[in-house]
Amino acid sequence: MRIFSGNGKALGSQLKQDIASYRYKVFVEKLGWPLDCPDQLELDEFDRDDTLYLAAKDETGAIVGTARLLPTTRPYLLSEVFPDLLGSDQPPSQTHVWELSRFAAVSLDKDTDAMNAYSSASAMSLLLEAFEYARSLGARKLLTVSPSAIARLLIKRKFNIRQLGPSRISEGLSIMALEIDLCAARTH
């Protein structure tokens, strides 16, 4: 598996389109999220010039994982779409706090359950690479909106996480806002 990272311009228009197509297949087709996706490309208002991406490709060149990193000093998914997951707290807006979103690590060639794929070795490799990339940007904490199953996986893997507010049901899953302490996260 090879992992590519950078903003949309650095990655090139074809790879950015491939990421959007992969996200559509995972989030809309496999997970059934009701997202508005013209041309079967999953892009939203957070896919901007300052958005950073990671894309994992297998030996055939097919995308098998993606992640998106957003600075919290600009609008991001948790602050704009899911602020209720913070309870009464205001969304963070700090240079050392970033958001990890649209994380997926599913081989589309295999009949893999998208939720169970998060515990795979390739998913962990992509997650650790995302942690390293975020650290290189000065991040000390990552925020994410995740299903409860992901929180349990992170705890099982001994990551230092904190739930930021109440959980709620969305698309049939219990979701919550999590903060991941990158200073305490193991990367090897």
Model pLDDT for residues 6-31, shown as the tens digit of each residue: 998 899 999 999 999 999 999 999 88
pLDDT at position 187 = 54
Model pLDDT for residues 143-163, shown as the tens digit of each residue: 999 988 888 888 888 899 999
Nearest to 162 by CA among 102, 87, 106, 51: 87
Lowest-pLDDT choice from 89-98, 117-126, 145-154: 117-126
Within 28-116, residue ranges assigned H as helices are 77-80
The tally of CA atoms less than 13 A away on the side-chain side of residue 149 is: 9
Tell me if 134 is assigned to some domain.
Answer: yes
Tell me if 188 is assigned to some domain.
Answer: no
The CATH number for 67's domain is 3.40.630.30
Mode of pairing for the β-strands spanning 63-71 and 97-104: antiparallel
Residue 122 has pLDDT above 60, yes or no: yes
Tell me if 17 is assigned to some domain.
Answer: yes
Nearest to 66 by CA among 26, 98, 97: 26
pLDDT at position 185 = 65
Tell me if 113 is assigned to some domain.
Answer: yes
Residue 140 is given by DSSP the state S
CB-neighbour burial class of residue 30 (10 A; exposed 0-12, middle 13-18, buried 19+)? middle
Model pLDDT for residues 53-88, shown as the tens digit of each residue: 999 999 999 999 999 999 999 999 999 999 999 999
pLDDT at position 188 = 46
Tell me if 22 is assigned to some domain.
Answer: yes
At 118, is the pLDDT very low, low, confident or very high (cuts 50, 70, 90)? low
- Mean pLDDT within 115-133: 80
pLDDT at position 83 = 96
Q: How many domains does the chain have?
A: 1
Tell me if 40 is assigned to some domain.
Answer: yes
Domain containing 168 equals: 2-181
pLDDT at position 108 = 79
Tell me if 21 is assigned to some domain.
Answer: yes
Mode of pairing for the β-strands spanning 52-57 and 63-71: antiparallel
Tell me if 187 is assigned to some domain.
Answer: no
